[in-house]
Amino acid sequence: MRFFWFIFLGIFAGLYLSWPGILIPENWKCFNEIIEKSAEDKISLKAVLEISPSYLLNGKNKKTSSKIRIVADACFR
């Protein structure tokens, strides 16, 4: 049981250090809006500005984890 507690605490601390705004409900609304708009091919300017040029230059298929990172960076930082 103690092992799971340390794993949970480590994951939570890592996410909080990476994205300090992850606990604010207003930021989750931003996250959900970007996800909904991206399904309609209407991506917000805020999310577009968070994308690095090297990400755009690599024309390969993007992984889901990198897509989530970009949206999370746009809303939680």
Q: What is the pLDDT of residues 12-31, one digit of tens each?
A: 999 889 888 888 888 888 88
Quick one: pLDDT band at residue 11, thresholds 50, 70, 90? very high
**Is the pTM value of this prediction over 0.85?**
no
- Mean pLDDT estimate for the chain: 77
So what's the pLDDT on residue 13? Answer: 92
Tokens of 29: 């609304």
Q: What is the pLDDT of residues 45-75, one digit of tens each?
A: 666 666 666 665 565 556 777 777 777 777 7
